[in-house]
Structure 1
């Protein structure tokens, strides 16, 4: 065999050996969004990005609409190995530790997704949150934030006075206390139960998602009132993986997933801003009434929400640490007074 052929054969052997040694992994991930919703479509792009950038070494088996376990059970399912990763949100885990409220839905805090993401990546948030997640055998990979949510209702929601005796679906946690104090009747139920509960009149309205996502869920086929632009809630949906599974990934695969997650975060904020504006125009034309609360009403809500943080901060040391971290960063941004 010639020297050149020998080199060629050796090079081919290295390529084959490298391919054989390439780590192949399947990740089972669940979220609570319908695949046709805005967030569902962006999730699919995340899946495609990870699989393409990894050259097929990472295969994602994805479960939309909480099809394996209930939304609130996704975190435990990942921690216990039924799934590998949870792509819902930290606020669903406040029953474990109230600190999860402040990595899930801060309420009355940041104005934009970019400010909230800035706390995570440049305000010490990821390090603080990671301690909390690791305590429960999970690793926080990143956030995707679509902006302020809109409340949907079968009756007008022009201001705080309209909240009296308003029965609505609420996620668990701090929100139930804030709205109960304002006279509403929050009912905690799974995300997937909202449509039927509205349809049957069990609830008058729902805090579900952004305006565009609510359209995707079909909520305005049933109810004809909504708050927009939103002000009360800007949840941070997360990607959190079983820590043993995450630690077992190669550095290359970790970086691919982290990078795809940051792309998803940016795309979610940008696309949702446009999608919400389009949804608002469409709904208005279809006779849905949108309520933009006054600056005074918004300020009253924010003041009440931020006061409620302190009660939650006293529940556990982890909650106190996260509240203090947010307050310090919000102060730097000029969003709250020192």
Structure 2
């Protein structure tokens, strides 16, 4: 009898010592390289989900668009090649122009906190409905702040945009900059370095200043706009609907909590990282162009004219544009009519 009890106790101890087996696997692709600030934060998100779930969720993070091209990640998740997409809605404007206004409003909010405030004060429901129509669930945003344009030529103001050939993401941005005299070239995020190196483009709208440093852009160019003003993209986490609905409520809550931590940490990290990058680049001899209020107004007016045009494209786009305008008026960012 004593031997049986000892054996049973040993067996129970061995069983409880075994690591928890992963019950769910999330295959997620991001366009960021692992060495960039955003790439490091994405990995921290994956680690947080795994730790908080006690190993019940295994996150496979694919960096640098290593499975499919950046613009294809959304479809790859919706069709089951991946489970979730960690790029941004603005890459999906070909499906519905409304995605522009959940991806990059352009010339709108000044800070990530204002943009998050729209999402969590009524905007989420409208945005998620758009995603649901394409078999996807919007989980949340992570916003690193205003982007900086990088260039081989000076970018001191709107006049320098004339004939400036630069990498642009797809969507409304190409129209705004073309109207200002530039020559936007749509190409994948991963192709920027080679295009600059070979002279196909003069510059790029890639990311925030610190991420651009991580990409090595300032080994090739000597000019950037900083502080940024033209674009503040909302990178998202969006998962296939059936995958999301198959998760337990506890697992959904863990992912949502980890996502909100990522959002908070992203804004804080880049507040510091962009300023550090600016100091480093000035010392290196890179010229940082801080556009005047008058020059920024030129861009804002061009962007807001594009909002009005895009609002006519689909009912979903109009609903999102109207929602943003009402919220910006509430915040005092644009004048009430």
**TM-score interval w.r.t. the shorter chain?**
over 0.9
- Identify unmatched segments of 5+ residues in structure 2: none
Could you list the runs of 4 or more consecutive aligned residues of structure 1 that deviate by over 6 angstroms after TM superposition?
A: none
- Identify unmatched segments of 5+ residues in structure 1: none
Alpha-carbon distance in structure 2 between the residues aligned to 1:63 and 1:44:
10
TM value normalised by structure 1: 0.94
User: Does 2:276 correspond to 1:278?
Assistant: yes
Q: CA deviation at 1:312?
A: 0.5
**Is contact 1:170-1:188 (8 Å) kept?**
yes
1:238 is paired with a residue of what secondary structure?
strand
Alignment-derived partner of residue 96 in structure 1:
95
Alignment-derived partner of residue 166 in structure 2:
168
Alignment-derived partner of residue 135 in structure 1:
133
1:82-93 map, 5 Å: 82-93=81-92
Q: How many aligned positions are there?
A: 326
1:128 is paired with a residue of what secondary structure?
helix
Alpha-carbon distance in structure 2 between the residues aligned to 1:128 and 1:306:
20
TM value normalised by structure 2: 0.94
Alpha-carbon distance in structure 2 between the residues aligned to 1:205 and 1:148:
17
2:279 is paired with a residue of what secondary structure?
helix
Alignment-derived partner of residue 323 in structure 1:
321
Alignment-derived partner of residue 199 in structure 2:
201
Alignment-derived partner of residue 304 in structure 1:
302
**Is contact 2:150-2:223 (8 Å) kept?**
yes
Deviations 1:269-320 (A, max 9, x none): 0000100000000000000000000001111111110111011010000000
Alpha-carbon distance in structure 2 between the residues aligned to 1:35 and 1:154:
26
Alpha-carbon distance in structure 2 between the residues aligned to 1:150 and 1:202:
20
User: Does 2:226 correspond to 1:228?
Assistant: yes
Alpha-carbon distance in structure 1 between the residues aligned to 2:22 and 2:196:
47
User: Does 2:54 correspond to 1:46?
Assistant: no
User: Does 2:263 correspond to 1:265?
Assistant: yes
1:263 is paired with a residue of what secondary structure?
helix
Which one of 235, 242, 245 corresponds to residue 243 of structure 2? Answer: 245
Q: CA deviation at 1:23?
A: 7.4
Alpha-carbon distance in structure 1 between the residues aligned to 2:279 and 2:43:
26
Alignment-derived partner of residue 30 in structure 1:
29
Q: CA deviation at 1:153?
A: 0.1
Alpha-carbon distance in structure 2 between the residues aligned to 1:310 and 1:160:
21
Q: More deviation in 297-306 or 190-199?
A: 297-306
1:241 is paired with a residue of what secondary structure?
strand
Q: Over aligned residues, Cα RMSD in angstroms?
A: 1.7
Alpha-carbon distance in structure 2 between the residues aligned to 1:337 and 1:247:
41
Alpha-carbon distance in structure 1 between the residues aligned to 2:96 and 2:286:
38
